[in-house]
Structure 1
Amino acid sequence: MARILLVDDDPDQLSIRGLLLEREGHCVELAASAAQAEEALLRATPGLVLMDLRIPTSADGLALIRAIHAHSAQVPIVVLSGWMDDLNKAPESRLVSTCLRKPARSERVLRIVAGLTQASGE
């Protein structure tokens, strides 16, 4: 299965989504901030990034999207957020594979992750 970088500043969301992805067989690295996510990128390139946009601000999330794309333009980025207007208005929206509005059903998240990781050969 895929190596997934999961980024969310909400510890409950991070834990729940991390366990869900691990239960599906993915290797999950957790990051509670954009800085932690960028450190994780330096250690190893993930097969997919699943991230909140406001970590804790939209500016942090948009900067992280740019950093991920600069590190590896092939890494699919899935944004899971309640603040889609912030992303839709930003040029970084073209760097994102898929956007899901919170709260997103777990089944939908898993289906999208499966589709993107299979498409990228992870």
Structure 2
Amino acid sequence: MAKVLVVDDDPAIRQLLSDVLELDGHEVHVAVDGADGVRAFASLRPDFVVLDVMMPHLDGYGVLRSIRVEAASAVPVLLLTAAPDCAARGRESGASYYLAKPFTADEVLFLIDGVLGHETPIADVRAAVDVARGRGYSGYS
């Protein structure tokens, strides 16, 4: 399927997204902060980026600026944020989409699969979310 880069300083969110996206068939790479995200983007050239806004050292807007200006890339970027003013600033910065925290894993899956033209059966999405939340399914718990 697609190569997805997840950039988030929260280890729980990185793990959840990584697990769910891998179970959905995507090749997932993670970055632990903005600077790591810029380096990972340059070397990986992913098909989709999931990017937290509020991170130490280099925030998501700085990473997004690097993607759009320095790398001259139009790759779809999903901003994840708890900040209420993200929609306008994200659009001005070149974000393709945004989701407010808290979000659900299936919202992320539906968005990414929709953007990339992949369809995931609803049962598979629910199974992936259950596994990512540690519930397992049919013998995998």
1:51–1:78 CA contact under 8 A, matched in 2: yes
Structure 2 CA distance for aligned equivalents of residues 55 and 19 of structure 1: 21
- CA deviation vs aligned residue, 1:66-96 (integer Å, no higher than 9, x gap): 11112143200001111141x3453x52311
TM-score, with normalisation over the residues of structure 2?
0.75
- Segments of structure 2 that go 5 or more residues without pairing to the other structure are 119-141
Structure 2 CA distance for aligned equivalents of residues 45 and 84 of structure 1: 29
For the pair shown, which has the larger CA radius of gyration, 1 or 2? 2
Q: RMSD value over aligned CA atoms? A: 1.8
Shift of 1:105: 1.4
- CA deviation vs aligned residue, 1:30-86 (integer Å, no higher than 9, x gap): 0010111111112121100001100137x621111111112143200001111141x
Q: How does 1:3-18 map to 2 (within 5 A)?
A: 3-18=3-18
Identity of aligned residues (%): 30
- Segments of structure 1 that go 5 or more residues without pairing to the other structure are none
Write out the 4+ residue segments of structure 1 that deviate beyond 4 Å after TM superposition: none
TM-score, with normalisation over the residues of structure 1?
0.86
Structure 2 CA distance for aligned equivalents of residues 27 and 101 of structure 1: 24
SS of the residue 1:103 aligns to? coil
Structure 2 CA distance for aligned equivalents of residues 15 and 82 of structure 1: 18
Residue identity in the other structure for 1:117: L
Q: How many residues align?
A: 116
1:77 paired with 2:77, answer yes
2:4–2:48 CA contact under 8 A, matched in 1: yes
The 3 A distance-change label for structure 1 pair 28 and 72 is farther
